Amino acid sequence: MRIADTATMVCPVTGQALRWQGTNLELLLAEGNLESADGAQRWPVVDGLPRMVREGELRGTDRLSRHIHDRLPRAHRPVLRLGLPVLQGGGSEAALRRALIEGLRLGELAGGDPRPRLLEVGIGEGTNLPALRAALPEGLGAELWGVDLSEVLLKRCRERWRHQPFAEHSRLLVADAHRLPFPGGCFDRVFHMGGLGRFDDPARVLAELARVTRPGGLVVVVGKRLDRREAPAPAVQAAFRLLTVHEPEVDLEALPVPAGTVVEQAGQVSRFFAMLSLRREVEA
């Protein structure tokens, strides 16, 4: 992350601007602290990654989720790559992700701000990044921001894509989806894929995603949900239960719609996933 990027962030406790105090690698953050404007809150930056959460403040399932993702990162990717096509009834994981990313309607960004900002909450190892980059209209220097509770996964994400041109436009930080370190309305697209049921309070997370979305922008949430309309085979039901054992299913349509947003799309989008997309209203 560049020092200039910290101007897009705020202290997640006070909402104040942040001051950088530390050592740089040219224009990049290296080691130090991001301090709230009143000096009362300090957020360490270690090995270039800002840590915008405090361990003691993490709630029940968030703490568990972090432990799972920190301890089992090697298992996560192969399980998805092999398990998803089986559950989906064909196709590849990459093709599924490309289809889900269409829900972000990135084509709409053409002709607008030449540097739109996208935020993936719970970015994990960044498996969506290549498909996101490919779906962006030509010529846009979009900033791809990613937050996650798992520092281990973020480091793997950074390492994994280090040599890709889009890495230059990526900004990663440790942060909690319930309390994002960004001011209101600063992203053109805000999305989360795959783990909503593990968040401690999915309704609060949805409201937080809406808060940081700019007027006219989209919030897109994709949740694991088995399509039961065509009575899935018992083996598919059992596999679904196994893969989501730590994750209660969230009824996306039943979540309170955050103030100032309208529902654009809600429902099953594949055998294994449901999508909710909200448009942030433009004030008159």
Ligand X SMILES: C[S@@+](CC[C@H](N)C(=O)[O-])C[C@H]1O[C@@H](n2cnc3c(N)ncnc32)[C@H](O)[C@@H]1O
The least CB distance from residue 143 to ligand X, in Å, is: 18
Q: Is residue 153 within the footprint of ligand X (CB under 6 A)?
A: yes
Footprint on residues 56-95 left by ligand X (CB under 6 A): 62, 65, 69
- From 198, 211, 225, 280, residue interacting with ligand X (rule: CB under 6 A): 198
Of the listed pieces 81-89, 105-113, 163-171, 173-181, which binds ligand X according to CB under 6 A?
Answer: 173-181
- From 11, 101, 118, 148, residue interacting with ligand X (rule: CB under 6 A): 148
Contacts of 172 (CB under 8 A, 6+ apart): 1, 49, 123, 145, 146, 147, 148, 154, 157, 158
Give the nearer residue to ligand X in terms of CB position, either 122 or 232: 122
- From 11, 132, 149, 250, residue interacting with ligand X (rule: CB under 6 A): 149
Of the listed pieces 21-29, 39-47, 162-170, 188-196, which binds ligand X according to CB under 6 A?
Answer: 188-196
Specify the pairing of strand 18-25 against strand 28-36.
antiparallel
Give the nearer residue to ligand X in terms of CB position, either 52 or 186: 52
- DSSP conformational letter for 255: S
Q: Which residue has the tokens 């270690």?
A: 46
H or E element, residue 133: helix 129-135
Of the listed pieces 43-51, 124-132, 250-258, 262-270, which binds ligand X according to CB under 6 A?
Answer: 124-132
The least CB distance from residue 246 to ligand X, in Å, is: 10
Q: Is residue 199 within the footprint of ligand X (CB under 6 A)?
A: yes
The least CB distance from residue 98 to ligand X, in Å, is: 12
Specify the pairing of strand 49-50 against strand 42-46.
antiparallel
C-alpha–C-alpha distance, residues 173 and 76, integer Å: 20
Of the listed pieces 10-18, 29-37, 122-130, 160-168, which binds ligand X according to CB under 6 A?
Answer: 122-130
Q: Which residue has the tokens 């709230």?
A: 36
Instruction: Identify whether the C-beta of residue 94 lies closer than 8 Å to the C-beta of residue 85.
Output: no
The least CB distance from residue 103 to ligand X, in Å, is: 13
Instruction: Identify whether the C-beta of residue 102 lies closer than 8 Å to the C-beta of residue 175.
Output: no
C-alpha–C-alpha distance, residues 216 and 208, integer Å: 16
Q: Is residue 191 within the footprint of ligand X (CB under 6 A)?
A: no
Q: Is residue 190 within the footprint of ligand X (CB under 6 A)?
A: no
b/e for 160-189, b at 16 or more Cβ within 10 A? bbeeeebbebbbbbbbbbbebbbeebbbbb
- From 8, 41, 88, 150, residue interacting with ligand X (rule: CB under 6 A): 150
User: Which residue type, as a one-letter code, is found at position 207?
Assistant: A
Number of residues that bind ligand X (CB under 6 A): 22
Q: Is residue 127 within the footprint of ligand X (CB under 6 A)?
A: yes
C-alpha–C-alpha distance, residues 275 and 49, integer Å: 30
- From 41, 128, 261, 277, residue interacting with ligand X (rule: CB under 6 A): 128
C-alpha–C-alpha distance, residues 124 and 154, integer Å: 6
Residues that bind ligand X (CB under 6 A): 62, 65, 69, 121-124, 127-128, 147-150, 153, 176-178, 193-195, 198-199
